[in-house]
Structure 1
Amino acid sequence: MYKILGHHHISMKTKNGKENNDFYTKVLGLRRVKKTVNQDDPSMYHLFYGDRVGSAGTELSFFEMPTVGRTHRGTNAITQIGLLVPSSESLLYWQKRFELFGITHGERITYAGREALPFEDSEGLRLILINNNGDEVPSFWTAWEGSTVEGNHRILGMGPIEITVRNIQATVRVLTEVFNYIEIARTESEVIYQAIKGQAFGEIVLKQDDGPVERAGKGSIHHLAIRVKDVKELKYWEAKVRDFGLETAGIIDRFYFQSLYFRDRNGILFELATDGPGFTVDAAVEELGESLDLPPFLEGRRAEIEARLNPLD
């Protein structure tokens, strides 16, 4: 039986690519591993940040949408991103760093059973640092030595992803009956699932909220991509999603990975994405994220595309 391997990436909306780039590279110390465009609308940047090579499970991606308005928070949305850091001392380091940079943050709390520090980026996107406390992370996650953050406190990769919905059982059924996620904790209004038991890097926190549906804007989360090995497995999962009664967009070649998109009955957009070929398919490791990279089908429009994009650096 095939198994979901954890998170692949998560995608958000930003109004200002330059400010977004500054925050995630200079404050959070992530590497910009790919500067490309939205393949469905190449008038906008698609920026990826992560570890040294943008390994699956470390990638935060943003679509730049200059005309987007503000987010009206609510339910039926992906509402928070967990990022793993090495230790309790790391949380203290980050608290001081946020104060130095004037970043909105809360106090240290317990979240999903772990010590954590909530904060927001400049557009109100909700994130939370999680003490990984020495637990296992994927062996292929590779630290980026060019980070602005001290080596023993750098962000490792993605942790618990929070999804808030009106009908919690509808999303529970997708996670358990289609993808075989494992329930590890439950309260009256919250359920926690893991792709791999005991591992935070594939964790989803489901919360119940009957309030108004979120209206997406800057700082909102567009979709969560979960990780599969290859196209063979992607086809297997596509059949399972369809057999469950949900529609998919079919398998799409995104050049850096193959993708499959679907929405659950709460309207949450999920993507399944393959491990490869990865971001080094068109750039050397040393040069990742420096130039505008385009998939082959857009290369002939490079001059037109570059003319419509604002410089980031």
Structure 2
Amino acid sequence: MVNIAGHHHISMITKNIKVNNEFYQTILGLRRVKVSVNQDDPSMYHLFYGDLIGSPGTGLTFFEMPLVGRTHRGTNAITQIGLLVSSYESLVYWKKRFTQLGVKHGEITTYAEMEALHFEDPDGLRLVLLNHNGKPIPQHWTEWNHSNVPSEHRILGMGNVEITVQSLENLSSMLQNIFDYTLVSKSSHQAILQSVKGQVFGGIVIVQQDGPKERPGRGSVHHLALRVEDKEQLRFWEKRIKDFGYKIMNLTDRYYFESLYFKEKNGIIFELATDGPGFTVDTPIEELGKKLDLPPFLEPKRAEIEAKLGPIE
């Protein structure tokens, strides 16, 4: 049986790339591993943050939309991103750090059966640090040693991702029937599922909520990408998704990985993305994130693209 190995990356909307860049590098201590553009609209920056090489499962990516308005929160949306840290002491460290740096945050609490610290980025994107309690992480996650956060407190990678929907049953059954997710717990209004049983780096928390649908804006999540090993597995999932009656929105080669997009019945967009070739396909490890990288099909338009992009630093 082919399995979903966890999350691959998650993609959001930011209003100001300079503010975003400062927050995720300087405050959260992540590495900027790729500066590129939206391949479907090259006038728009696309930034990737993660570990040393932006390993699958560590990637937070952002599209810059300077004219975007605020998010009108509601249902049928990806509503919170979990990030793993090693210990309860790490939560204490981050609470103090957020207080000192003026980051909006709550108290240390519990979320999805884990000790947690909720916070928001400058766009109002909701995130939560989760105590992984020293448990093993995927072997391919690679620490970046130039972070300004002490090694023992650094963000490891993605954990539970929260999705709020009108029909919990539709999303839950889709994840179980198509992708063989394990149902960990379920109540009348919430369910927790895992792509790898017992591992939160592929966890999805589904919250059932009626009412108006979210109207996306700055700080909203566009899609969640699930991790697949290679293009052969991607073709397997393409057929399986179609066999269950879902339409493929797009199947494309993003150069750094191959991608498939589809929308489930509540309107949530999922991407399936391959592990490789990865961000080092065109850039040495030590140079990742330092310049604008373009896929080969956009390289002939580099001068035109660069003229439309403002400075990040």
> How far apart, CA to CA, are the structure 1 residues paired with 2:263 and 2:216?
16
CA distance in 2, matches of 1:262, 1:250: 7
Partners of 1:100 and 1:215 in 2: CA distance: 32
Residue 117 (structure 1) shift: 0.2
Report deviation, 1:251.
2.2
Written as runs of structure 1 = structure 2, the 5 A alignment for 1:211-226 is 211-226=211-226
* 8 A Cα contact 2:249 2:263, kept in partner: no
Please list every run of 5 or more consecutive structure 1 residues that lacks an aligned counterpart in the other structure: none
Kept in 2: contact 1:136–1:199 (CA 8 A): no
| Structure 1 residue aligned with 2:233 | 233
Gaps of 5+ in 2: none
Aligned-partner Cα distance in 2 for 1:260–1:173: 20
Q: Contact 1:182–1:197 (CA<8 Å) still a contact in 2?
A: yes
Partner residue, 2:85: 85
Partner of 2:266: 266
Cα pair 1:135 1:199 within 8 Å, conserved: no
Aligned counterparts of 2:233 and 2:250: Cα–Cα separation in 1: 14
SS of 1:108's equivalent in the other structure is strand
Distance in 2 between residues matched to 1:203 and 1:23, nearest whole Å:
25
Which residue does 1:18 correspond to in 2?
Answer: 18
Secondary structure of residue in 2 paired with 1:175:
helix
Listed as ranges, the matches of 1:160-179 within 5 Å are: 160-179=160-179
Q: What is the aligned-residue RMSD (CA, Å)?
A: 0.5
Aligned to 1:67: 67
Give the structure 2 partner of residue 51 of structure 1. Answer: 51
For 1:188 and 1:173, locate their aligned partners in 2 and report how far apart those are by CA, in whole Å: 14
Q: Which amino acid aligns with 2:87?
A: S
1:49 partner SS: strand
- Residue identity matched to 1:251: L
- For residues 46 and 250 of structure 1, the distance between their equivalents in structure 2, rounded to whole angstroms, comes to 18
Which runs of at least 4 in structure 1 moved beyond 4 Å after TM superposition?
Answer: none
Find the counterpart in structure 1 of residue 35 from structure 2: 35
| Residues 207-232 of structure 1, C-alpha deviations (whole Å, 9 max, x = no match) | 00001100000000000000000000
User: Structure 2 length normalisation: TM-score?
Assistant: 0.99
Residue in structure 2 matched with residue 196 of structure 1 by the alignment = 196
- How far does the alpha carbon of each residue in 1:155-199 deviate from its partner, in whole angstroms, 9 at most, with x for none? 000000000000111111210000000001112210000011110
Deviation, 1:135, is 1.3
State the distance in 1 between where 2:153 and 2:250 align.
Answer: 40
More off after superposition, 134-143 vs 259-268:
134-143
The 1-side partners of 2:33 and 2:141 are apart by 13
**CA–CA distance in structure 2, aligned partners of residues 112 and 249 of structure 1:** 31
Question: 1:22-43, CA deviations, whole angstroms, 9 ceiling, x for partnerless residues?
Answer: 0000000000000000000000
